[in-house]
Structure 1
Amino acid sequence: MHTVVIAALVSAAAGLALTPRLVDLLRRADILDIPNARSSHTQPIPVGGGLGILVPWLFGMAVVAAVGGFSEAGFPAALSAGAAVLAVLGFVDDRRNLTPLSRLVVESLVAAACIGAGGLPVFEIELPGFTPLATGSFGWALSWLFVVGFTNMFNFMDGINGLAGFQALLGASALAVWASLAGDSTLAMAAALLAGSSVGFLRANFPRAKVFMGDVGSLPLGFLLAMGVLRVQAGAGPVSAAPFWLPLLFVWPFLGDATYTLLNRAVHRRNPFRPHRSHIYQRLVVAGLSHKHVTLIYASAMLACIAAAFVCREHPPLRPYVFWGGLAVTTALMVAIVVRVRASTTQRDGHGEPAEGGRRPTR
């Protein structure tokens, strides 16, 4: 545990030192997010701050591997290679706006290769109160779907100051602590490095943004968190070390918001890849809350979900109450927010969605 804490502190120091220099470099290179009709910022802001997280993390992973700090080679290599490829994909997308299909192809190949290298199928699906259902070979497909899906969900949720940064920091911290308690030193080290590296970016992005994360950061971060969740549930295999839903609590605010939004847009036959402001966090901004307040609400929800996961870890009899009660509360809150925003806004597109160009856009 002491080594993990030291790794997190060193990576945090590296991120804090690198990010201001990265911001200056991005500005000089004219890699900027130019304000448009949907933007909430009025001045060009450098985009690509996710490199301030990824570079210290990759360097830290390389150093730990070089000194023999990992007990295995496959999983760290899968994480590092996958994150690096997705960072390149994100950088190109930030500059040239790739088509959704081309992005999806690369993401799918990366996810399949890294899940295979890491040996991370979803072994079983277990809901509290029901008999676990073994997935068999379908577990590999389920893992692939989750990694590709959450990689894009994290990207979709990177829309207001600090939101993605807090999910990266808190989600990775939870993974590091959980893995340390479970004796998984490899995941603990990788997650601790990621949590520490997130500090520098978060300081530059919240509450006032000096830099935006960009796809160069959001794609690999979503991938890394998804792989961490799979590692927690897979354990050493072939039996799940934890129910799949349990580590999902580490990223539930992002997963729940994005899942609701995708389902809502599917019901209304809308393209999920087209820019929109239908996410729950975007609806809160449209309703008049500041970016700071919305981000703090989500950060509080993240902490509550993480705490619930650790309570379930220590007290298994409470799992049905936490799972079903939490699901009911989450659903009720989402419905309440949607109803409130519909009542408080006047510009809509005919389906109860905030209209493009409406007041208080996100970005």
Structure 2
Amino acid sequence: MEDILIYLFCCSIAMSITPFISKLAIKIGAVDKPNKRKVHNRVMPTLGGLSIFIAFLLGHVFFGYPHFQFKAILIGSIIIISSGVIDDKFDLSPKFKVLFQLAAASIVIFYGGIYLKSITLPFFGTIKLTYLGYFLTYLWIIGVTNAINLIDGLDGLASGVATITFMTMYILATLEGDYFVMTYALILAGSSTGFLVYNFHPAKIFMGDTGALFLGYIISVLSLMGFKNATFISFIVPILILGVPVFDTFFAIIRRKLRGQSFAQADKEHLHHLLMTTNRSQTKTVLMIYGISIIFSGVSIIYSVVSTKLGLTILVILFVLIQYYAGKIGLLGKHFLPFSLAVKDHAGAATTVEGDSGKLGPGDKEE
């Protein structure tokens, strides 16, 4: 019963303050103007992430409990929120954003003591990571923070995927008896849902980098809380929970690398952009990605609770389908085939070379 109260309280707070945040954004000029890379066609207020953050803070005040690591998480959150507000108003360069993220991650690691301390590998046993643990933690926090930001391209997409992520964390934390992660995942799920009411298509406000960076940061830190001492195989769980942003970011890195472009260079070939060209509907596209995210979350629960082998089997099938579909719709770029299609294409070409001269015969018809 208390869990429902926490969720509804934070949801109500976010819903109540979002209209005021919208007016504030317009007043100070923190707006998102349409351009050729964006799908909206009118000026939109940003800073919506402040609604989520304020609801999160009030949720902590009324339902949180003292925890020596929360202070570090909160300081890091303020750093991330500050960078988002500045970016929504003045457009920060990617380098400055990363500096803010490094600062927030440093607070979490060295002040909060939240980092990957050891890993258990098959045949090698438990290995203490020390400095490598710091590096991997930096990589995880900054990577997930930016992954959520990258999928924030359609009305309600990032806030909805984040809500699904937090609810999955809540379920897993409840099953494992991790009351800290359980409580704050629920607080954040309610906060994100309340904002989603105004952010779903047609959106009345955008979360901006204020919201996308904060959600990415807090998701990365909460997921670390349960995996500070991890087995190699346990890394699958947070990656599965974040399946959509993780794979979208992975394919974006490969796509830009193949083209010799900087990772920071924006394009219009993310999963949501490409699905939009097929569906011609923001709502259908967003709901489709919600569905994909729920599938990933379901697999993470199966893997953690039901059967590791079953979870891994489903994961392998998902991976094959993902790489096939990614190449099919052009996530790697228009001129790059997925592995399975490339093999098929190569086999077809070999048949032509070895079994056919390529010249027109009596039974051939020239097009």
TM-score, normalised to structure 2, is 0.83
The answer on 1:35 being equivalent to 2:28 is no
> Could you say what the CA RMSD is over the residues aligned between the two structures, in angstroms?
2.4
Could you say if the C-alpha distance between residues 304 and 339 of structure 1 is closer, same or farther in structure 2, counting changes exceeding 3 Å?
closer
Could you say if the C-alpha distance between residues 210 and 131 of structure 1 is closer, same or farther in structure 2, counting changes exceeding 3 Å?
farther
The answer on 1:109 being equivalent to 2:103 is yes
Could you say if the C-alpha distance between residues 15 and 142 of structure 1 is closer, same or farther in structure 2, counting changes exceeding 3 Å?
same
Which residue pairs with 1:7 in the alignment?
A: 6
Of 270, 274, 295, the residue aligned with 2:286 is: 295
Residue type of the alignment partner of 1:257: D
Residue type of the alignment partner of 1:207: H
> Aligned partners of 1:280, 1:125: CA distance in 2, in Å?
34
What per-residue deviation string (whole Å, max 9, x for no partner) do you get for residues 41-72 of structure 1? 2221111111111111022223445xxx24x3
Q: CA deviation at 1:242?
A: 7.1
Of 191, 194, 199, the residue aligned with 1:200 is: 194
Could you say if the C-alpha distance between residues 85 and 261 of structure 1 is closer, same or farther in structure 2, counting changes exceeding 3 Å?
same
The DSSP-based 3-state class of the residue aligned with 1:98 is coil
Could you say if the C-alpha distance between residues 329 and 78 of structure 1 is closer, same or farther in structure 2, counting changes exceeding 3 Å?
farther
> Aligned partners of 1:257, 1:330: CA distance in 2, in Å?
10
- Larger RCO (CA within 8 A; separation ≥ 6): 1
Contact 1:125–1:244, Cα closer than 8 Å, also in 2: no
Could you say if the C-alpha distance between residues 227 and 307 of structure 1 is closer, same or farther in structure 2, counting changes exceeding 3 Å?
same
The answer on 1:310 being equivalent to 2:304 is no
Which residue pairs with 1:326 in the alignment?
A: 318
Residue type of the alignment partner of 1:136: L
Q: CA deviation at 1:323?
A: 2.7
Q: Aligned ranges for residues 86-125 of structure 1 at < 5 Å? A: 86-116=80-110, 117-121=112-116, 123-124=118-119
TM-score, normalised to structure 1, is 0.84
What per-residue deviation string (whole Å, max 9, x for no partner) do you get for residues 74-116 of structure 1? 1x22222211110001110111111211211121121122033
> Aligned partners of 1:194, 1:118: CA distance in 2, in Å?
22
What per-residue deviation string (whole Å, max 9, x for no partner) do you get for residues 285-324 of structure 1? 2345322111111100111111111111122232331332
More displaced 10-residue stretch of structure 1: 225-234 or 295-304: 225-234
> Aligned partners of 1:122, 1:202: CA distance in 2, in Å?
36
> Aligned partners of 1:150, 1:303: CA distance in 2, in Å?
18
> Aligned partners of 1:17, 1:169: CA distance in 2, in Å?
18
The answer on 1:136 being equivalent to 2:136 is no
The answer on 1:243 being equivalent to 2:242 is no
Contact 2:49–2:211, Cα closer than 8 Å, also in 1: yes
> Aligned partners of 1:280, 1:22: CA distance in 2, in Å?
29
> Aligned partners of 1:291, 1:118: CA distance in 2, in Å?
41
| Higher Rg | 2
> Aligned partners of 1:104, 1:272: CA distance in 2, in Å?
13
Q: CA deviation at 1:122?
A: 6.0
> Aligned partners of 2:123, 2:159: CA distance in 1, in Å?
36
Could you say if the C-alpha distance between residues 27 and 229 of structure 1 is closer, same or farther in structure 2, counting changes exceeding 3 Å?
same
Which residue pairs with 1:26 in the alignment?
A: 25
Residue type of the alignment partner of 2:196: L
Which residue pairs with 1:347 in the alignment?
A: none
The answer on 1:178 being equivalent to 2:177 is no
The DSSP-based 3-state class of the residue aligned with 1:124 is strand
Which residue pairs with 2:159 in the alignment?
A: 165
More displaced 10-residue stretch of structure 1: 53-62 or 302-311: 53-62
> Aligned partners of 2:293, 2:117: CA distance in 1, in Å?
23
The answer on 1:226 being equivalent to 2:225 is no
Contact 2:26–2:45, Cα closer than 8 Å, also in 1: yes
> Aligned partners of 2:27, 2:331: CA distance in 1, in Å?
44
Contact 1:229–1:248, Cα closer than 8 Å, also in 2: no
What per-residue deviation string (whole Å, max 9, x for no partner) do you get for residues 122-158 of structure 1? 63276xx987774622122111101111111211211
Which residue pairs with 2:145 in the alignment?
A: 151
> Aligned partners of 2:322, 2:37: CA distance in 1, in Å?
28
Give 5+ residue unaligned stretches, structure 1.
Answer: 344-363
The answer on 1:257 being equivalent to 2:256 is no
Could you say if the C-alpha distance between residues 341 and 85 of structure 1 is closer, same or farther in structure 2, counting changes exceeding 3 Å?
closer
More displaced 10-residue stretch of structure 1: 134-143 or 304-313: 134-143
> Aligned partners of 1:220, 1:339: CA distance in 2, in Å?
26
The DSSP-based 3-state class of the residue aligned with 1:119 is coil
Which residue pairs with 2:270 in the alignment?
A: 279
Contact 2:156–2:201, Cα closer than 8 Å, also in 1: yes
> Aligned partners of 2:300, 2:208: CA distance in 1, in Å?
30
Contact 1:250–1:302, Cα closer than 8 Å, also in 2: yes
> Aligned partners of 2:235, 2:285: CA distance in 1, in Å?
28
